[in-house]
Chain A
């Protein structure tokens, strides 16, 4: 597949958004992933957004079972998986029905005509055939009998490796679609062939069928007149270095492994399966050679309990979960606050309340993370801003947890977890030294000579010493009851409790001095409106700001990684602007904190649709605020 483009016009584009949509069983995620790999190999910048149904196998052919994968790729740096597709590949009527509303007029649409049977139309809820009833007027529709051409291609194989049955042949249609798209956007396919050969190493006949379908799709584009143009998106100019593509959950897993190495502590993960956090448990379970202990607990409470027990023993204790699980872990996190032991709590937020929208994204656990414990129980809360940033955020969470002997909540979300982007691989020398030293000797002289006081704090950080079991002479007991300042013995003294509550607060507040200042992106320095965001809205907000500036308006953007405590200069930043807009995928949780903390009249822009913001929409909102 040389990529020759015979008799075709080449359209050069600076960016493309393509969406593959089909039934859960159609392999859309795999197709999207492979197209993305081709695109990464080609050198474009990219950002992806998978969209899966909550049901594992909803009835085939129904809208509830539609699975999608969107990829945005470009010749320049991009920040989001794109607002609306330029190209939709719809494998069946249900996929068309649930995705057509996102497709702007004039966009390209490839439909698998073989799937538009009357039975499938009915399952999708179409009363007439959208291919013929005018529904698709205004789109550039490419009608491709994907299934039958795939079967023909597979049947034509003279295979020495054995043959596949018709059903297996038909299942390769996603590779036909991938082949066709690879031709249309001039992507290399060698990597896909290698991938298929490896994936189906034990069933070479299936590998051969898929490769045949891939080639047939590519050749179909090249040899038929169905497509009058091909598109070309030149490689992006990216910072030199070695890259890989990474999803948020993978980057977070790697960040945890790195944090263990950097702190010198063994990693212990106590976790319970929950969407969309389970992939971190899966990933860490694979890397036993790093000495990682993963423990699939009987419930969320045991997951965090075991992690805290491991921390008591000198491990880097981590628990991973999503909103409902964070609610269950609350009491143990409170215990960790008062025990003053390091603990990483990773919450991959999803739509709530309750079970909510397990496979969709939301940012509505911020208030719970910051405030959701009994008593005064402050702890640091931090959030990554992009899939690759999950790596650095995990390391930062471990830094704070170990240095300040505190649980830290890391708020990722479903969009970051499953979305992916290119990641410039770090050098070992770029990573911080977080080595932890345990206390090994007495720290106080009492009436009977040298003693160990587990709550005698470091003057600067206010952190208490961490002496682990196995250390002779430092045997001590800690617990959930209030402790006497210094000695750590049980104390019911009112003044002591008041002091301890304030000390725990002061310790966490003091972290503000140990984190980077809030950075403001205000290229002209003339902006009067500040957009303040946190977490995964970074991409859409930054993209919206670019659009606004391209339209000749000024806007500043600041994005919080540390949600509690805020960086020291946050008050100065927010007070420096006439208006502050806080876009969030919740009903205004950061906004409430900013208003309460700094007495500024921040305004919100809030959506809880289970989907990331669209940059164009956000840009419109920004322009309205600027022009007010």
Chain B
């Protein structure tokens, strides 16, 4: 398959199946006429602005982009984008997007979902879409709470969370979304933060460039029901010490002074060390096995005092779409196009005169 480069240099063998934009686009081209109805101050605004700013960079025809969402605050997203869109039902967006992407390789299909939508009611679809490596890009806004239903704990809420449905504290352990999807052997796994525009844009670019399914967790502040959940990762004063920016091929080093690193402890687990220590690991997002990516996903503020953001894993695997459509073109090349009347008369027939 030939790989061509579009105007901005973003490319992959599947993106190249999508018609290019006839003229340069701007953010305005992606802004719909719908009034945005999230709570003032919600992290969703920043994500929307970043996506609207990023899409023109893709350089593909706007009409060949579709955003599919489920139910929840984040799932209002498609209404605010001037692409094709569907606000579907709770948890099912990956399934609907799968049918669309598989049947229309000329489309760029995105899923917008939340922690409740993707991990609770729709957990099964998320895992299977990623396992199949369908060419869809899944943006999961994780605010660790149910916003639209007004503040119940979610599958990513910390244990002991006091909410309306858990006045004595929530009991169940949260999912670590990155660990979960790596378990499903997702071929592209990344994390970013709503307010980190440049970082989020770079992650979106990497996701768009990746052939196959991409899972992007975006830490998103719900200032109404779970305000400040990611403050340590966002505050100017703490963020450089609290986040580890993953860059493929670069050493795993972080801190305001870039004085801290990640290495393997004698017991085999990852630990924080000095950046100058021996054995600081180099990030390998392209490793065939998801082992290191999984270990990195286990680093959290609680477990290690640092949370990795960026691309955990990005490997090129055959996609479901390519393979399914390939089976069709192979069959046609070998046997020719189907002939209906011939098919109906196949098998044993007899004639009555």
The answer to whether B89 and A331 touch across the interface, beta carbons within 8 angstroms, is yes
**Hey, which chain A residues are within 8 Å of B349, CB to CB?**
242-244, 425
The answer to whether B79 and A243 touch across the interface, beta carbons within 8 angstroms, is no
Closest beta carbon of chain A to B319's beta carbon, Å? 14
| Chief secondary structure at chain A's binding surface | mixed
Within 8 A of A (CB), among B62-100: 62-66, 68, 71, 78-79, 81-89, 92, 95-100
Known: A240-B352, A306-B95, A310-B99. A335 touches B63 (CB 8 A): no
- With CB as the reference atom, state the residue of chain B lying closest to A269: B99
A305 to B82, CA, bound (A): 23
**Hey, which chain A residues are within 8 Å of B325, CB to CB?**
293
Within 8 A of A (CB), among B330-349: 330-332, 335-338, 340-341, 343-345, 347-349
A200 lies within 8 A of chain B by Cβ: no
Closest beta carbon of chain B to A426's beta carbon, Å? 7
A264 lies within 8 A of chain B by Cβ: no
Number of contacting residues on A, CB 8 A?
A: 69
The answer to whether B99 and A309 touch across the interface, beta carbons within 8 angstroms, is yes
**Hey, which chain B residues are within 8 Å of A114, CB to CB?**
none
The answer to whether B336 and A479 touch across the interface, beta carbons within 8 angstroms, is no
B103 lies within 8 A of chain A by Cβ: yes
B168 lies within 8 A of chain A by Cβ: no
Segment touching B, from A23-31, A253-261, A455-463, A499-507: A253-261
Bitwise interface map of A from 233 to 244 toward B, beta carbon under 8 Å scored 1, else 0: 000001111111
A6 lies within 8 A of chain B by Cβ: no
Residue from A254, A258, A303, A469 within 8 A of B107 (CB atoms): A469
Within 8 A of B (CB), among A429-459: none
Known: A291-B338, A313-B107. A305 touches B328 (CB 8 A): no
B13 lies within 8 A of chain A by Cβ: no
Number of contacting residues on B, CB 8 A?
A: 62
Within 8 A of B (CB), among A297-312: 297-299, 301-303, 305-312
**Hey, which chain B residues are within 8 Å of A299, CB to CB?**
124
A603 lies within 8 A of chain B by Cβ: no
The answer to whether B128 and A302 touch across the interface, beta carbons within 8 angstroms, is yes
A245 lies within 8 A of chain B by Cβ: yes
Residue from A43, A303, A474 within 8 A of B350 (CB atoms): A43
Known: A288-B327, A309-B96, A490-B34. A477 touches B348 (CB 8 A): no
Closest beta carbon of chain A to B86's beta carbon, Å? 6
B351 lies within 8 A of chain A by Cβ: yes
**Hey, which chain A residues are within 8 Å of B337, CB to CB?**
289-291
A586 lies within 8 A of chain B by Cβ: no
**Hey, which chain A residues are within 8 Å of B92, CB to CB?**
301-302, 305, 331-332
**Hey, which chain B residues are within 8 Å of A191, CB to CB?**
348
The answer to whether B340 and A315 touch across the interface, beta carbons within 8 angstroms, is no
A482 to B73, CA, bound (A): 17
The answer to whether B350 and A469 touch across the interface, beta carbons within 8 angstroms, is no
A317 lies within 8 A of chain B by Cβ: yes
Known: A479-B88, A489-B34. A241 touches B102 (CB 8 A): no
A480 to B66, CA, bound (A): 16
Closest beta carbon of chain B to A248's beta carbon, Å? 15
The answer to whether A290 and B338 touch across the interface, beta carbons within 8 angstroms, is yes
Residue from B62, B100, B350 within 8 A of A475 (CB atoms): B62
The answer to whether B353 and A240 touch across the interface, beta carbons within 8 angstroms, is yes
A470 lies within 8 A of chain B by Cβ: yes
Bitwise interface map of B from 90 to 132 toward A, beta carbon under 8 Å scored 1, else 0: 0010011111111110110000000000000000110110000
The answer to whether B104 and A469 touch across the interface, beta carbons within 8 angstroms, is yes
The answer to whether A257 and B99 touch across the interface, beta carbons within 8 angstroms, is no
Within 8 A of B (CB), among A539-594: none
B32 lies within 8 A of chain A by Cβ: yes
Known: A289-B338, A302-B124, A470-B104. A477 touches B87 (CB 8 A): yes
A244 to B341, CA, bound (A): 13
The answer to whether A242 and B66 touch across the interface, beta carbons within 8 angstroms, is no
A210 to B106, CA, bound (A): 52
The answer to whether A289 and B331 touch across the interface, beta carbons within 8 angstroms, is yes
Indicate the member of B32, B61, B63, B345 with the most A CB atoms within 10 Å: B63
The answer to whether A309 and B98 touch across the interface, beta carbons within 8 angstroms, is yes
A472 lies within 8 A of chain B by Cβ: yes
Bitwise interface map of A from 216 to 257 toward B, beta carbon under 8 Å scored 1, else 0: 000000000000000000000011111111000000001001
B324 lies within 8 A of chain A by Cβ: yes
The answer to whether B96 and A306 touch across the interface, beta carbons within 8 angstroms, is yes
**Hey, which chain B residues are within 8 Å of A257, CB to CB?**
338, 340, 343
The answer to whether B332 and A289 touch across the interface, beta carbons within 8 angstroms, is yes
A476 lies within 8 A of chain B by Cβ: yes
Closest beta carbon of chain B to A26's beta carbon, Å? 23
A428 lies within 8 A of chain B by Cβ: yes
The answer to whether B89 and A332 touch across the interface, beta carbons within 8 angstroms, is yes
Closest beta carbon of chain A to B91's beta carbon, Å? 8
**Hey, which chain B residues are within 8 Å of A295, CB to CB?**
98-99, 102, 324
The answer to whether A317 and B99 touch across the interface, beta carbons within 8 angstroms, is yes
Closest beta carbon of chain B to A489's beta carbon, Å? 7
Bitwise interface map of A from 156 to 196 toward B, beta carbon under 8 Å scored 1, else 0: 00000000000000000000000000000000000100000
The answer to whether A306 and B99 touch across the interface, beta carbons within 8 angstroms, is yes
The answer to whether B84 and A469 touch across the interface, beta carbons within 8 angstroms, is yes
**Hey, which chain A residues are within 8 Å of B352, CB to CB?**
43, 238-241, 243
The answer to whether B68 and A288 touch across the interface, beta carbons within 8 angstroms, is no
Residue from B78, B327, B348 within 8 A of A41 (CB atoms): B348
A9 lies within 8 A of chain B by Cβ: no
A471 lies within 8 A of chain B by Cβ: yes
Closest beta carbon of chain A to B17's beta carbon, Å? 12
A298 to B353, CA, bound (A): 49
Closest beta carbon of chain A to B51's beta carbon, Å? 15
A477 to B63, CA, bound (A): 12
Closest beta carbon of chain B to A252's beta carbon, Å? 13
A287 lies within 8 A of chain B by Cβ: yes
A479 to B92, CA, bound (A): 13
Known: A244-B345, A339-B86, A425-B344. A309 touches B97 (CB 8 A): yes
- With CB as the reference atom, state the residue of chain A lying closest to B83: A475
**Hey, which chain A residues are within 8 Å of B34, CB to CB?**
477, 489-490
The answer to whether A242 and B89 touch across the interface, beta carbons within 8 angstroms, is no
**Hey, which chain A residues are within 8 Å of B324, CB to CB?**
293, 295
**Hey, which chain B residues are within 8 Å of A138, CB to CB?**
none
Bitwise interface map of B from 118 to 151 toward A, beta carbon under 8 Å scored 1, else 0: 0000001101100000000000000000000000
The answer to whether A477 and B336 touch across the interface, beta carbons within 8 angstroms, is no
The answer to whether B100 and A310 touch across the interface, beta carbons within 8 angstroms, is yes
Indicate the member of B99, B341, B350, B351 with the most A CB atoms within 10 Å: B99
Indicate the member of A292, A302, A490 with the most B CB atoms within 10 Å: A302
A241 to B349, CA, bound (A): 10
Given contacts A292-B328, A297-B98, A308-B96, 10 further A-B contacts (CB under 8 A): A40-B348, A238-B352, A268-B102, A289-B338, A302-B124, A303-B95, A309-B100, A314-B103, A469-B84, A469-B100
> When A and B form their complex, which 9 residue pairs have the shortest distance between CB atoms, in order from nearest?
A479-B87, A309-B99, A306-B99, A305-B95, A290-B338, A288-B331, A302-B95, A309-B96, A477-B85
A residues sitting closer than 8 Å to B (CB atoms) are: 37, 40-41, 43, 191, 238-245, 254, 257-258, 261, 266, 268, 270, 287-293, 295, 297-299, 301-303, 305-315, 317, 331-332, 335, 339, 425-428, 469-481, 489-490
B residues sitting closer than 8 Å to A (CB atoms) are: 19, 32, 34, 61-66, 68, 71, 78-79, 81-89, 92, 95-104, 106-107, 124-125, 127-128, 324-325, 327-328, 330-332, 335-338, 340-341, 343-345, 347-353
Q: What are 5 sample pairs from A and B whose C-beta atoms fall under 8 A apart? A: A244-B348, A266-B103, A305-B92, A477-B78, A490-B79
